[in-house]
Structure 1
């Protein structure tokens, strides 16, 4: 079993806007609700958590765009590329479990950092997940892939 790590975590409270999302000490994932105190909690449980891999930030940097972590709007930044996994894949992070539901669509708000950024990261901007099991996540938490779904031809 491959084990990965959470590089950092982010959450915006109601009333906060803009990017990058603020870093937080912990995320409390709540089944059928979302992230405690997050401005998007309770809205769309299939998009309760947004994950991004550090590879997306590396791609931006390769294109001379230096942005800080949290700038893509993620809640959780992984040390691997979650885009290598398919819809239905489950990640266990500490006691919590999240499942990939869909790729995040490109966001023109990212152009605030650089006009080319939305195009550069369009295929790896982030992934939405739903919460399967409540739990707390912190920077450095272990990530295990406990179920990998494969595309059906």
Structure 2
């Protein structure tokens, strides 16, 4: 496994909470087959239980004079590298948990509350939806590693 970076912050919205930014939390308990413990979206669509975003998305907004607080994009995990550089199916080990990138997060008009241009600006960089492959705790400063695909190495 190769180290890619670290977790900048973690976020989760509890049942009954709405709107953006998502509240910052000390840690996330990723539960296989369920989602993030106590998160309002847990148990819904298991392929979208975790959303990751890179700091670059916030930098892009700032370069265009849009100031955003971390958590404003609806992410659960904010990373210090750009996860959009990796294809669907990529597996990341974050802390003890392993997540798999399932799809790009589609732009929603909820982001327009910050600036009308934001949904268009972040069209390709809104975040990535992931499913949980292995349970574990994720905290600020957790190391993020790329999980090598051993199946394809064996096949080749």
The two structures share one fold, judged by TM-score above 0.5: yes
Aligned to 1:91: 92
Aligned to 1:100: 101
C-alpha distance in 2, partners of 1:31/1:18?
26
Indicate conservation of the 8 Å contact 2:3/2:143, yes or no. no
Aligned to 2:127: 126
Matched, 1:26 2:27: yes
C-alpha distance in 1, partners of 2:122/2:91?
23
Indicate conservation of the 8 Å contact 2:34/2:43, yes or no. yes
Aligned to 2:7: 6
C-alpha distance in 2, partners of 1:147/1:130?
17
Indicate conservation of the 8 Å contact 2:11/2:75, yes or no. yes
C-alpha distance in 2, partners of 1:106/1:45?
19
Runs of at least 4 residues off by over 4 Å:
none
Measured after TM superposition, the shift of residue 94 of structure 1 is 1.1
Q: Note the alpha carbon deviations across 1:74-130, whole angstroms, 9 max, x for none.
A: 000000000000011000011100000000000100000000000000110000000
Aligned to 1:75: 76
Q: Where in structure 1 are there 5+ consecutive unaligned residues?
A: none
Measured after TM superposition, the shift of residue 62 of structure 1 is 0.4
Measured after TM superposition, the shift of residue 2 of structure 1 is 3.2
SS at match of 1:109: helix
Aligned to 2:67: 66
Q: Where in structure 2 are there 5+ consecutive unaligned residues?
A: none
For these two proteins, the number of residue pairs brought into alignment is 149
Measured after TM superposition, the shift of residue 3 of structure 1 is 3.2
The alignment's TM-score, normalised by the length of structure 2, stands at: 0.93
Measured after TM superposition, the shift of residue 37 of structure 1 is 0.2
SS at match of 2:6: strand
SS at match of 1:61: helix
C-alpha distance in 1, partners of 2:26/2:92?
20
